[in-house]
A = this chain, B = another copy of it.
Amino acid sequence: MTIHWRELIKPDGRHLVLYARRPIPEDIEAPSPEPAPLHPNSHLRWHPLRGEWVSYATHRQNRTFLPPPEYNPLAPGSNPDHPTEVPAGDWDAAVFENLFPTLTSESHDPPPEIVETRPAKGACEVVVFTQDPKSSLGALPLAHLELLLEVWADRYRVLGARDEVQYVFPFENRGVEVGVTLSHPHGQIYAYPFVPPVPARELEMQGEHFRATGRGLLDETIAAELADGRRILYSGPHAVAWVPVFARYAYEVWVAPLRPQGSVADLTPVERGDFARALKTVLLQYDGLWGRPFPYILAFHQAPTDGWPHPEAHLHIEFYPPYRMKDRLKFLAGSEIGAGAFTADTLPEEKAAELRRVEVTLGSNDDGG
């Protein structure tokens, strides 16, 4: 598959990149709901007891843009009175800098404080998955999912190459249950100037195991899950999807390439094709389970871009769905948030069996292009 892309600058200075499987028209222009640069500025403060950075982005309070209720800023723009974030024209996916970013390369002059402070350098990007506001990640054809994997790979390379960026984190928040108010299919990418706590902890455990055994920890976990078989949702020649034996959320699912590739940018074309099949299988099982859109947080965990080799890293997606049963949310409260200890009242084996009973039709990887 050949991917075409075109980088444009919005009137307020932000970057927009369009991606497509066909050449992109040259006369396309980047719109913006904001006429002039906002010059966002954020800073980090060191939390000494947790040993982590916290971001403060106070410019996010100053949102003055009041669109009409039916306004969708992620729809291809057509109304000049209310410009959106993406242009009309022939493209499949779009990436642009968030208007109110938590992390931005512009950050400067952090205030002095009683703990160490730093400019909150980095990037916050929005990834528009499709022009169709009624679609969803799981409804997109396999070829479109492959294109999105190429988009995530491109952003990993481009953002990861910046000196200030140590970790590129694509994610999707889906559903009002996780706070999403915009239903147009989209994800986000945070490019952090540090390796954030959750992947840092996983890489620490993976690193210890790799140095002790010369083998990947996730690699061994996947081999054990495949041999067991009860929790496998998709098993292909190059990718696997499963409910982990140690799932913290009732419907937690992980997706990974079989070969311990460090990042989405390392996937070969056949691996990407099979990863797309694994991903679409999970998404269709989720939406098919209760016959309605299934909310979740989708998180990519991959190798840091901190300049060091990371042979211990193994690309994977972790899905955290907020429901523990139909119409019953799992609230994260005292034990989970205050102590960090998760408690489940269902078994991963049972939840995997539920998802496995959902019949899915993937189509072909050559469809839709």
Chain A residues in the interface with B (C-beta under 8 A)? 45-58, 60-61, 102, 113-115, 167, 169, 171-173, 178-180, 188, 190, 192, 196-202, 204-206, 209, 217-218, 221, 224-225, 227-228, 244-248, 297-299, 318, 320, 329, 331-335, 337-347
Give 22 CB contacts A-B under 8 Å: A45-B245, A49-B221, A51-B204, A52-B341, A54-B246, A54-B342, A55-B343, A56-B346, A57-B344, A57-B345, A102-B343, A114-B245, A169-B339, A173-B333, A178-B333, A188-B334, A190-B335, A197-B339, A198-B338, A198-B340, A299-B338, A299-B339
Copies of the protein in its oligomer? 2
Determine the distance from Cα of A167 to Cα of B171 in the docked complex, in whole angstroms. 34
Closest B residue, CB atoms, query A198: B340
Q: Among A47, A179, A228, A318, which residue has the most Cβ atoms of chain B within 10 A?
A: A47
Q: Which of B61, B228, B318, B345 contacts A345 (CB 8 A)?
A: B61
Which residues of chain B are near A190, meaning CB under 8 Å?
Answer: 334-335, 339, 341
Which 4 A-B residue pairs are closest in the complex by CB-CB distance? A179-B331, A299-B338, A197-B340, A171-B334
Determine the distance from Cα of A277 to Cα of B360 in the docked complex, in whole angstroms. 60
Q: Which of B53, B248, B297, B345 contacts A58 (CB 8 A)?
A: B345
Determine the distance from Cα of A329 to Cα of B180 in the docked complex, in whole angstroms. 12
Contact B114–A46 (Cβ < 8 Å):
no
Closest B residue, CB atoms, query A335: B190
Known contacts A54-B248, A172-B334, A246-B54; A196/B114 CB under 8 A: no
Nearest Cβ on chain B to A366's Cβ, whole angstroms: 32
Contact A196–B50 (Cβ < 8 Å):
no
Closest B residue, CB atoms, query A57: B345
Determine the distance from Cα of A342 to Cα of B52 in the docked complex, in whole angstroms. 9
Determine the distance from Cα of A307 to Cα of B353 in the docked complex, in whole angstroms. 42
Which residues of chain B are near A51, meaning CB under 8 Å?
Answer: 201, 204-205
Contact A329–B179 (Cβ < 8 Å):
yes
Closest B residue, CB atoms, query A187: B334
Known contacts A297-B333, A332-B332; A339/B199 CB under 8 A: yes
Contact A341–B55 (Cβ < 8 Å):
yes
Which residues of chain B are near A320, meaning CB under 8 Å?
Answer: 337-338
Contact B205–A340 (Cβ < 8 Å):
no
Known contacts A102-B335, A190-B334; A49/B172 CB under 8 A: no
Which residues of chain B are near A192, meaning CB under 8 Å?
Answer: 339, 341
Closest B residue, CB atoms, query A225: B114
Which residues of chain B are near A204, meaning CB under 8 Å?
Answer: 51
- Besides A102-B343, A114-B225, A169-B334, 17 other CB < 8 A contacts? A48-B221, A48-B246, A49-B206, A50-B198, A54-B246, A55-B342, A102-B335, A171-B339, A179-B333, A192-B339, A192-B341, A197-B339, A197-B341, A198-B338, A198-B340, A297-B337, A320-B338
Determine the distance from Cα of A247 to Cα of B52 in the docked complex, in whole angstroms. 11
Closest B residue, CB atoms, query A205: B51
Contact B246–A338 (Cβ < 8 Å):
no
Known contacts A246-B45, A335-B169; A52/B345 CB under 8 A: no
Determine the distance from Cα of A163 to Cα of B10 in the docked complex, in whole angstroms. 64
Closest B residue, CB atoms, query A332: B332
Determine the distance from Cα of A334 to Cα of B319 in the docked complex, in whole angstroms. 10
Which residues of chain B are near A198, meaning CB under 8 Å?
Answer: 50, 338-340
Contact A58–B299 (Cβ < 8 Å):
no
